[in-house]
């Protein structure tokens, strides 16, 4: 696991075993806040070790940026901490997380010690502010990767923990293309020092504009290509031909995962557009 100090009392962690997923810690004088847990127990335990033994402080709060396994399945390793999320996150973790953990356990013995712990405190609209030492953490909705996404702004440092609404490759299989575009645009206008992506490396101030542009360009290229393929007689053949480079992204992003995420984006968007069309025809009043 990589670890970096981003600012005073603000730390970043990145998995070396699963999809470069990230987590964060903001420490105060009496307790610390963890932003997301990592995918596998040993890495989440290493974060806890660091906080308890290097920062010498207990964890009082965990923020889940969304319900996906790689961000929430470490909740159980912080007994006594209060977990905070969007209300949908709690609902989706209960509905989908519990059965998917059961299935995953059969494949991976390392998950045997994992239990789903549902958030204790949720919010639905607006913002929620948590004060840690001298810093405000402002939680706000950031949807598009998933319907329950939140991002966390460390107000004084202008550091944004973006969750998966910002990634080296926007990923919308469980989300919505328009919503993720809106989230990314908003982040681009926030005057940030750093964007901490849910996966991948930290984006520095001087890199933010081009990262935002590249992600928005990917989204519009993807939309254009999928729409064009949808109009063909056999869309499947054309969908297979939409390659990641034509959408302005590299296939080696995210340790080589990008290419398969892109292919899943193509299929998911095709399906979502088809569903919307069906829904629109029937549902319009």
| Positions in the binding site for Zn ion (CB under 5 A) | 68, 70, 164, 198
Distance CA 47, CA 165 (A): 23
Least distance to Zn ion, CB of residue 71, Å: 6
Closer residue to Zn ion, CB minimum distance, 48 or 68: 68
Q: What is the DSSP string of 120-181?
A: SEEE-SS-EEEEETTEEEEEEE--SSSTT-EEEEEGGGTEEEEETTS-SS---TTS-HHHHH
Select from 156, 125, 167 the least CA-distant residue to 6: 156
- Are 65 and 152 in contact, with CB atoms under 8 Å apart? yes
Closer residue to Zn ion, CB minimum distance, 68 or 90: 68
Least distance to Zn ion, CB of residue 4, Å: 19
Running DSSP on this structure, what letter comes out for residue 201?
Answer: P
Closer residue to Zn ion, CB minimum distance, 144 or 198: 198
Least distance to Zn ion, CB of residue 175, Å: 11
Distance CA 220, CA 188 (A): 16
How would you write 264-285 as a 3-class SS string? HHHHHHHHHHHHHHHHHHHHCC
Closer residue to Zn ion, CB minimum distance, 9 or 170: 170
Least distance to Zn ion, CB of residue 134, Å: 30
Closer residue to Zn ion, CB minimum distance, 9 or 174: 174
């Amino acid at each position: 696991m990589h670890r970096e100090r981003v600012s005073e009392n603000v730390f970043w962690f990145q998995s070396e075993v699963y999809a470069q997923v990230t987590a964060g810690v903001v420490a105060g004088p009496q307790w610390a806040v963890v932003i997301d847990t990592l995918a596998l127990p040993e890495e989440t335990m290493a974060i806890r070790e660091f906080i308890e033994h290097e920062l010498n402080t207990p964890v009082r709060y965990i923020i889940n940026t969304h319900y996906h396994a790689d961000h929430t399945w470490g909740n159980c390793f912080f007994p006594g901490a209060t977990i905070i999320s969007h209300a949908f996150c709690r609902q989706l973790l209960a509905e989908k997380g519990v059965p998917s953990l059961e299935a995953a356990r059969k494949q991976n013995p390392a998950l045997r010690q994992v239990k789903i712990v549902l958030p204790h405190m949720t919010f639905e609209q607006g913002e929620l502010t948590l004060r840690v030492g001298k810093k405000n953490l402002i939680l706000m909705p950031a949807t598009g990767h998933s319907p329950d996404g939140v991002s966390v702004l460390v107000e004084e440092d202008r550091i944004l923990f973006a969750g998966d609404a910002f990634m080296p490759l926007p990923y919308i299989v469980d989300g919505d293309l328009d919503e993720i575009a809106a989230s990314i645009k908003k982040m681009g206008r926030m005057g940030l020092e750093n964007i901490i992506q849910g996966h991948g490396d930290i984006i520095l101030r001087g890199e933010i504009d081009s990262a935002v542009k590249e992600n928005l360009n990917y989204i519009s290229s993807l939309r254009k290509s999928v729409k064009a393929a949808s109009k063909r007689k056999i869309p499947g053949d054309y969908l297979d031909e939409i390659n990641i480079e034509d959408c302005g992204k590299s296939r080696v992003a995210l340790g080589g995962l990008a290419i398969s995420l892109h292919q899943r984006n193509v299929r998911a968007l095709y399906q979502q557009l088809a569903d919307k069309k069906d829904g629109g025809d029937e549902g319009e009043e």
